[in-house]
Chain A
Amino acid sequence: MTALDYVLAGVLAVIHGPEAFTLLGIPVSVTVLMVVAGFFAGIVVGATPGLGQVIALAISLPILISIFGFNASALLPVMGFMIGIMKGSTVGGAVPAILFNTPGTPDSYMTTLDGYPMTRSGQAQKALRVAHFSSVSGDTFSDICLFVFAPSLAILVERYLDLPEKTALIILSLCFIAVVVGRSPAKGLAAAALGLFFVYVGTGEDFHPRLSLNAPALADGIPITAAVIGVLVVGSIFSELEKLWREKSTAGTITPTSQSGDGRLRWTDIRRIAPYIGRSAVIGTAIGALPGIGSTLAATLGYASGGAFHRRRKAADEPEFGKGAMQGIAATEAANSSVAGANLIPVLSLGIPGNTAAVFLVLAADTIGGFNPGPGVFRFTSEANPELVIAFGLFTTMVIANILNWTVGGVFMRCMGIMIRIPKQFLLPVVLLLTFASLYVQQTSMAMIGFALFFGVLGYFMIKLGVSPLPFVIAFVLGRQFESTARQAFSATGGDPFFLFSSWIAVAFMAGAVAIIVITVHGRRASA
């Protein structure tokens, strides 16, 4: 089979698979139906604060498998649904960030910075359109890169990054996030240190759960979802409610958010945000292709780079980043969405997921069987290689999801915007309870709610003290991986204490980490 035959076979496997029903004489395959269902479910999931794609995937995978069973024909419908969820929730995540200042997912935290100010000035509809347009553009760009480069890129990356280099890369990412995000490098560093500390409680390799004070609830560490959702969602809900409470007690009433202008996205707007989308899409795609780094970092880098660009280029009457600039939304959403496609490069060619959502794709493939993500997938053999057909089938489901996203995604996403009509003093507590229930459903223990409350309080203090919660979140998410990669690298080098300097790539990463800290701290000091 030639490469073209494989592409064709992949497309046919999706479109001509087992049919669900006929629509106007055209048979609709189960796979297409599942992509559509997953996509709309994903938008709802993303738009609901406290729910996220990871939770949705965790809940749906066992259900899907019990419906479709364990043979290879189950692969495309199940994975198609999951891809639909991933794509839908990526655009949907911007909705609560823009409307309520509570990010639906960690990736959309940066979207709150400009999206919510736009909502406050009556431009919610426009902000949603900017988010949708940027997200879909970034996503499509990333998918194209995946289709073109997947066969070769991941193998190249993996050849140059051994365990010591991977450790150094995580250190570089952490340093960057800690000192560059937010206004104060010292506070950023403190937040990152706190994140590391909390993720190390109860974890580790010994049978004694370290730092757990013998509390059974801490015996397997603090669940990532509880900590991250606690700091980001519960913390912002408390903070928003507190603002409403102050408004009520000083002004005697709470003014509802109003809508002004027609909220349309005009050609001039698109021209203005296009450079930001372009930069962020490239950044997000590059980050996504690196195994194990993830989309929150991409969103942060995209926002930071867009912000630097904006300071040089903005017109005098345009708002700054963080004050309701639509370019800020564009930069964030394009970056976090463009991770998704590229993230499948390491997944498909090495079986190594770059983020938690991709983990579930690997799990699905593993559990169902018949598709074994790894170097064997991209072998263009003359005998039909069924795994490669599945890979192109997956690409086809992504194209279908993208088409849905361009056509009806934006409309459906803005429908979610009616939530803004509900007074926030009622909606936010409902979201709070939904968050608690969603956490409980995942790991049935009251301790989950306790963690969420604890980290919500921490997040509230961070917001009120001007400490960006992002370094905390990234440190918490990367912390375990940082430790385990370092441990593995140390063991792999036979106990070399200088393993972080064992190759020029690792040395370059470490030098970069030091340089970022020195330059930023020095620069802020000079400007203070």
Chain B
Amino acid sequence: MRSLHPDTVLAVILLAFAAVLLLFWLPADTDTGLYEIKRGKYTIGDALAPAFAGAVMAVAGLLLLFGPRARDAPKLDTNHVWFLSAMIAIVLAGMVLMRWAGPLATILFADDDYRLLRDTVPWKYLGFASGGFVIVAGASSVVEGRFSRNAALAGIVAVLLIIALYDLPFDDLLLPPNGDV
């Protein structure tokens, strides 16, 4: 079977998304229509601008579907997808640690809620330090194909650097996750 041209795949995705947006999502999730009558006059409603975006998307999809085909059009391969998945997984793991490492540690080792300790050293750094370390060291390790001392060093330096940049000089700036709790 001949594989589809990447432009065709892109075009179909765009057209499908535009169709869902215009036919289902937009009518269900906006309060006012394309236009409405307010205080005795016609005004533009909340649905018009997204409908315009959807229409342009559909036009782009059609142009792409029936337009000229470049023979060397760039396309995704499995390596792209694999690498991207690894990156997403690392960032998500880092985010989970950022959000929950501090609260978990306070449940285990402290008397107060994390919320009340979010301005107290060392509790306030636990999430950012652990999550940040995982993101930096993890991404470096994936690229190198192994976990190295340098990757760990990069993670530690990054965390310390950012704490020094934002947290120490500025009283009001918050590192993750201390604005969420």
Do any CB atoms of chain A lie under 8 A from CB atoms of chain B in the complex?
yes
Task: Report which A residues bind B (CB closer than 8 A).
Answer: 59, 62-63, 183-187, 189-190, 192-194, 196-197, 200-201, 204-208, 210-213, 238, 241-242, 244-246, 248-249, 254, 423, 425-430, 432-434, 436-438, 440-441, 444-446, 449-450, 453, 457, 460-461, 464-466, 479, 482-483, 486-487, 490-491, 494-495, 497, 521, 524-525, 528
**9 smallest beta-carbon distances between A and B, as pairs:** A444-B179, A528-B68, A495-B42, A196-B53, A190-B60, A186-B63, A193-B57, A429-B139, A189-B60
Q: Which residues of chain A are within 8 angstroms of B161 by Cβ–Cβ distance?
A: 430, 434
* Interface residue? B166 (CB, 8 A): yes
A211/B50 in contact, CB under 8 A? yes
Q: Are B136 and A59 touching (Cβ within 8 A)? A: no
B135 at the interface (CB under 8 A from A): yes
Q: Which of B26, B63, B68, B166 contacts A441 (CB 8 A)?
A: B166
> A200 with B43: in contact, given A429-B139, A434-B162 (CB under 8 Å)?
no
Q: Which residue of A lies closest to B169 (CB)?
A: A63
Starting from the known contacts A190-B10, A246-B79, A495-B43, 7 additional A-B residue pairs (CB-CB under 8 Å) come to: A59-B170, A193-B14, A197-B50, A426-B140, A446-B95, A465-B10, A524-B68
Nearest CB in chain B: distance from A395 CB, A? 31
Docked-complex contact A453 and B91, CB < 8 angstroms: yes
**B29 contacts A436, CB within 8 Å?**
no
Asked whether any CB of chain A lies closer than 8 Å to the CB of B105, the reply is: no
B116 at the interface (CB under 8 A from A): no
> What are the residues of chain A within 8 A of B173 when measuring CB–CB?
59, 441
B64, A444: Cβ atoms closer than 8 Å: no
Closest Cβ neighbor of B68 among chain A residues: A528
B31 and A446 contact, CB distance less than 8 A: no
Residues of B whose CB lies within 8 Å of any CB of A are 6-7, 10, 14, 18, 21, 25-26, 29-32, 41-44, 46-50, 52-54, 56-57, 59-61, 63-64, 67-68, 70, 73-76, 79-80, 83-84, 87-88, 91-92, 95, 98-99, 128, 132, 135-140, 142-145, 150-151, 153-155, 157-159, 161-162, 165-166, 170, 172-180
Contact, CB under 8 Å: A495 / B88: no
Nearest residue (CB) in B for A423 is B150
Contact B157 A211 (CB under 8 A): no
Q: A206-B30, A241-B87, A425-B143 are in contact. Are A193 and B53 (CB under 8 A)?
A: yes
Residues of chain A with a CB closer than 8 A to B151's CB:
426
Across the interface, which residues of A come within 8 angstroms of B170, CB to CB?
59, 63
Instruction: Decide if A186 touches B180 in the complex (CB within 8 Å).
Output: no
A437-B64 contact in complex given A189-B59, A210-B30, A446-B180, C-beta closer than 8 Å: no
Known: A238-B84, A432-B136, A528-B68. A465 touches B6 (CB 8 A): yes
Chain A residues near B64 (CB-CB < 8 A): 184, 186-187, 190
How far apart are the CA atoms of A432 and B102 in the complex, in Å?
A: 22
Which of chain A's residues have a CB closer than 8 A to the CB of B178?
A: 444
Cα A483 to Cα B30 in complex, Å, equals: 15
- Assuming A186-B60, A446-B98, A465-B6, is B175 touching A441 (CB within 8 A)? yes
Complex Cα distance, B169 from A59, in Å, reads 12
Say whether B95 contacts A457, CB under 8 Å: no
Give complex CA distance A437, B138 in Å.
Answer: 17
Contacts of A190 in B (CB 8 A): 10, 14, 57, 60-61, 64
